[in-house]
Structure 1
C-alpha cells in the first residue's frame, strides 16, 4: 500500500531541553508536535536528521533527533479491534497504559510488555521491547501483524511479515531509523482476570539464581531481582519471581476480577541530593528488600497486574532518586555458555566500585525476531547506576567483558557504549545499513544515538 501524505507539517514547539528517562545525557534541539499521521509523514520527508519521540522512556539518547525531533504523542487514537483475531489497530502514539485500561476489563492483555506502561506503541516496536515472558512468547515485535511506515522519500508503506518483509523486520527493533511508525496492528491475548499468581524463590548466590531461572523456564513469567552489592559467598543473591495469569477460580470469593491500577499514588517531588544515594544506603535498601522477600520463599500469592509487571510505575518521577546528574541504565545479554561467569565478573566489579543500584534485574532470553533486536539466547542483566565521574571507566570495563563473551547492549537503554562495542554485538549491522541506504534513510532518519554509534 502506497500513499502520499498531505503537505502539512507539525507545529513547531521551538528548541527544547531533551533527555531520556535516565536524564543523561541532557541535550537540546528543535521539537515539533504532530497531531495526526499526515504531518508526521510530511516531517519525515522534509526534516533532516529527524527521529520520532514518544513518552521519553528510552533511557539514553535514542529518542532525540540529530537535528529535529517529532513529538508523536499526538498520534493517540485507537482505530479498531477484532475480538476474533485479537488484533488491535492503533496510531503509534497510543500509550500502553491506555490500552491496558481499555482492554484489560474486557479480558484482553498485551502479549508482551516492558517494565513500564508509560510507553507508546511506536516506541515498543522501534525498541522491540521484551518482558518477563520473552523466553517463551518472544518480544513485542513477534506479535505485530502490520505497521504503517513513513519513509524519508515521502511514501507511506504498509509493512508486515508478508508485505515489504525486509523493511518490516528492520523496523522491529530498528530504533526509528527506517522511518516514522504511524500506526500498527498487534495481537492481544485473552485473560480471565487482572491478577497474577506470584511464587517467590530465594537464591543465596548467583549460581543458585541461574539454576532457579532454568528450573522456572516453563513458567509464563519469570524474573530475578539481584543484590548487586552482595559480596563473597552471597555474590548475586537474588529473589526470583515466577508468575502466571490467575484464573477466576484462583480468586477468593468477592475479589474484583479486573482491579484498576493503584500505581502512581506516590511521587518523588524533587531531585534527591547526590550524597543520599551511596554504597551504604543502597546496601541497606538491598538488605531490607532481600530479607523481606526471603520471608516469602516458596509462597504463592495473588498480586494485581500493575504491581507485578510495572512496580516502578508506583512511584511517579522515580528517576529523580538519582539526583540532578541522572543515571545510566546498562543492559547486556550474554550467551548462555558464558553467562554465569561473565555476570559474576560484572557483579564483582560493581560491588568493588560501590556503584550500587536499587534496580538490578536478571532474566533468561530467547532470540529476537527483528534484524536489530536485542535478545539472544542467554541471560540479560539490567543495572541502574547513578552518573559519576568514575562511572565511565567502570562501564568500559563491563563492555569489554560483554564483547569478549559475544554479547551485546540494549539500544533502548544505552547512553554510553562505543562504536566498537556496538559493531561487535550487532552482527546484522551491515544489512541494516544497506537497507537504510536503499530507502534513503541514511543521514535523514538520524538520532543522537545513531550519530554516536556511526549509523
Structure 2
C-alpha cells in the first residue's frame, strides 16, 4: 500500500548513483505537514527517512523500498540576528541559499563541505566538515539548538544542555534519531567574500606532513590534491592549498545558474590506468605552473566542482564509490603510504583524490567522522568485483591502523569496520527513532 501523500519513484539517487531502487517519496512544503506524513508511512508499515539534495555518496541518504520525506521545499529562514550571527532556519534550506542570505551582512557558515548544494538538515545529520576543521571542527560544534520530530515524542527542542544524549546522537546521526525540522546555527564573521589562497607543490608525504603542520598555525583553510597514480619516489606527491579570508570589504556572491553541464555518462573504457596517469601528471604540472598566491572568491576556494553540473557522470552510467577514511596521527604516515601504494598498483586511481589533516576540536556527535589525524578521500568507478576487492584491501589497512570510514560517503562498508571505527555505535543505537531507518542502517545494523 502506498502511504497517502507519497509517490513511488526510482529517480531519487545518491551522488554516487549507487545503490538504486524504488522509494516512496513525499514532498511537503511546510514543516507542520511532516508529522502527518511520518505517521502515514508508519500506518503503511514503512520506515521513514528525511532526505535532501542527494549529495551523500552511498546509501545513508536512501531508504530503498520504504518511505522518504523530501525536505527541499521546507526551506525558510525563521530568524536571523545579523548583529550576533545566530540564524534559525528550516532543515531544507540549502547552504547555497543560506550564504546568499547571510554573506551580505558579513557572516558565513562556520564550516562548509566541498559542495554548497546540501541542506542544513543534511549538513547536521552528516556532521559535515571542511577545509578549516583544524580551527573550527565540524558543523556540529556550532549547532546551538535543533527542532526534532520523533514518532514517540512529537516535536521537541534539543541542545547540548537540553536532552544532551539525544542531541549527541542527532549530530552526525544520519537522520535516524527523528526528523530534523529546524536548525539554530552560530555563523562566523567575514570581512570579505574573497580569500588569499597559496598553492605549493610537494614531492611526497613527508613534505605534505611538514606543510600541514606549518600551515595549521598560519592558515584557516588547508587541503591537498594528491596524485594517486604516482609510484616510487613520487608516491604521495601533490598540491597543497592554504587560504585565509581577505579583509577588503567585498560582498559579491555566487550565482547558482553559472556553470557548465557534464552532458553524458562517460563510457567505461575512458577511465583506465593510462588516462588516470595522464590526467594526474598533466594536472600536477599545470597546478605547479600557476601563480603561488591568488585572490579567489569563496566559490572557487570551497566549491570548484559545483561549477560542473552533473560531474558525477564522469564515472559512467554504472556509478561510483567514494572512499573516505581518517587515520589517527600515530599510524597516519605509514598507513597513508600503504593506501596510496595499493591504489596506484590497482590501476583504479581517482581524478579527485584529497588529503587533509584534521584538528583536535571535538564534535558533540556520537557518530561524527572527523577525529585527530589525516583523512584521504577519493573516487572509484564501479568496476564490480575489481573495485570491491580493492576497497576490501583498503579496509584492512584502515582497520589495522585504527581508522574509520565516513558513513556519508559510504555504500559498502562492512559492519565490522563500522563498529570498530565508531565505538559509541551501541549508545547511538539506543537513541534511534523506532519509525526511522535507512538502507545504510539496515545494512550495517542488521546485515
Interval of TM-score (by shorter of Structure 1 and Structure 2): over 0.9
How far 1:13 moved relative to its partner?
Answer: 2.5
For the structure 1 residues 432 and 260, does the alpha-carbon distance in structure 2 shift closer, same or farther, using more than 3 Å as the test? closer
Pairing 1:58–2:56 present: yes
How far 1:259 moved relative to its partner?
Answer: 4.5
Match of 1:22 among 6, 16, 25: 16
Give the aligned partner of residue 137 of structure 1. Answer: 136
Give the aligned partner of residue 357 of structure 1. Answer: 350
Pairing 1:303–2:296 present: yes
Give the aligned partner of residue 397 of structure 2. Answer: 401
For the structure 1 residues 262 and 25, does the alpha-carbon distance in structure 2 shift closer, same or farther, using more than 3 Å as the test? closer
For the structure 1 residues 36 and 10, does the alpha-carbon distance in structure 2 shift closer, same or farther, using more than 3 Å as the test? farther
Distance between the aligned counterparts of 1:163 and 1:228, measured in 2?
45
How far 1:285 moved relative to its partner?
Answer: 1.4
TM-score of the superposed pair, with normalisation by structure 1 = 0.92
Deviations 1:355-388, CA, capped at 9 Å, x for gaps: 1211111111134331110011100000111110
Distance between the aligned counterparts of 1:262 and 1:45, measured in 2?
35
Written as runs of structure 1 = structure 2, the 5 A alignment for 1:145-184 is 145-184=144-183
Give the aligned partner of residue 320 of structure 1. Answer: 313
For the structure 1 residues 224 and 263, does the alpha-carbon distance in structure 2 shift closer, same or farther, using more than 3 Å as the test? farther
TM-score of the superposed pair, with normalisation by structure 2 = 0.94
- Contact in 1 for aligned 2:103/2:251 (Cα 8 Å): no
- Contact in 2 for aligned 1:59/1:414 (Cα 8 Å): yes
For the structure 1 residues 266 and 153, does the alpha-carbon distance in structure 2 shift closer, same or farther, using more than 3 Å as the test? same
- Contact in 1 for aligned 2:91/2:121 (Cα 8 Å): yes
Q: Which runs of 5+ in 2 are unaligned?
A: none
Pairing 1:431–2:422 present: no
How far 1:19 moved relative to its partner?
Answer: 2.0
Pairing 1:271–2:287 present: no
Give the aligned partner of residue 26 of structure 2. Answer: 32
- Contact in 1 for aligned 2:4/2:40 (Cα 8 Å): no
For the structure 1 residues 118 and 158, does the alpha-carbon distance in structure 2 shift closer, same or farther, using more than 3 Å as the test? same
Pairing 1:336–2:335 present: no
Deviations 1:71-106, CA, capped at 9 Å, x for gaps: 111211111101232111110000111111222122
How far 1:157 moved relative to its partner?
Answer: 0.6
- Contact in 2 for aligned 1:44/1:150 (Cα 8 Å): no
Pairing 1:385–2:380 present: yes
Pairing 1:105–2:100 present: no
- Contact in 2 for aligned 1:197/1:302 (Cα 8 Å): yes
Distance between the aligned counterparts of 2:137 and 2:61, measured in 1?
24
Distance between the aligned counterparts of 1:259 and 1:446, measured in 2?
37
- Contact in 2 for aligned 1:368/1:374 (Cα 8 Å): no
Distance between the aligned counterparts of 2:118 and 2:296, measured in 1?
22
Task: Please state whether the residue corresponding to 1:216 is helix, strand or coil.
Answer: helix
How far 1:292 moved relative to its partner?
Answer: 1.4
Q: Which runs of 5+ in 1 are unaligned?
A: 1-8, 250-255
Give the aligned partner of residue 229 of structure 2. Answer: 229
Task: Please state whether the residue corresponding to 1:102 is helix, strand or coil.
Answer: helix
Distance between the aligned counterparts of 2:364 and 2:377, measured in 1?
21
For the structure 1 residues 259 and 97, does the alpha-carbon distance in structure 2 shift closer, same or farther, using more than 3 Å as the test? closer
- Contact in 2 for aligned 1:10/1:35 (Cα 8 Å): no
Give the alignment's Cα RMSD to 1 decimal. Answer: 1.6
Task: Please state whether the residue corresponding to 1:236 is helix, strand or coil.
Answer: coil
Aligned residues: 435
Give the aligned partner of residue 5 of structure 1. Answer: none
Distance between the aligned counterparts of 2:150 and 2:31, measured in 1?
12
- Contact in 2 for aligned 1:261/1:306 (Cα 8 Å): no
- Contact in 1 for aligned 2:82/2:105 (Cα 8 Å): no
For the structure 1 residues 336 and 264, does the alpha-carbon distance in structure 2 shift closer, same or farther, using more than 3 Å as the test? farther
How far 1:207 moved relative to its partner?
Answer: 1.7
Distance between the aligned counterparts of 2:205 and 2:366, measured in 1?
31
How far 1:262 moved relative to its partner?
Answer: 7.4
Give the aligned partner of residue 202 of structure 1. Answer: 201
Distance between the aligned counterparts of 1:98 and 1:391, measured in 2?
36
Moved more, 115-124 or 394-403: 394-403
Task: Please state whether the residue corresponding to 2:146 is helix, strand or coil.
Answer: strand
How far 1:10 moved relative to its partner?
Answer: 7.2
How far 1:419 moved relative to its partner?
Answer: 0.6
Distance between the aligned counterparts of 1:174 and 1:262, measured in 2?
29
Q: Which runs of 4+ in 1 moved over 4 A?
A: none
Distance between the aligned counterparts of 1:206 and 1:90, measured in 2?
42
Distance between the aligned counterparts of 1:121 and 1:27, measured in 2?
25
Distance between the aligned counterparts of 1:10 and 1:124, measured in 2?
28
- Contact in 1 for aligned 2:358/2:370 (Cα 8 Å): yes
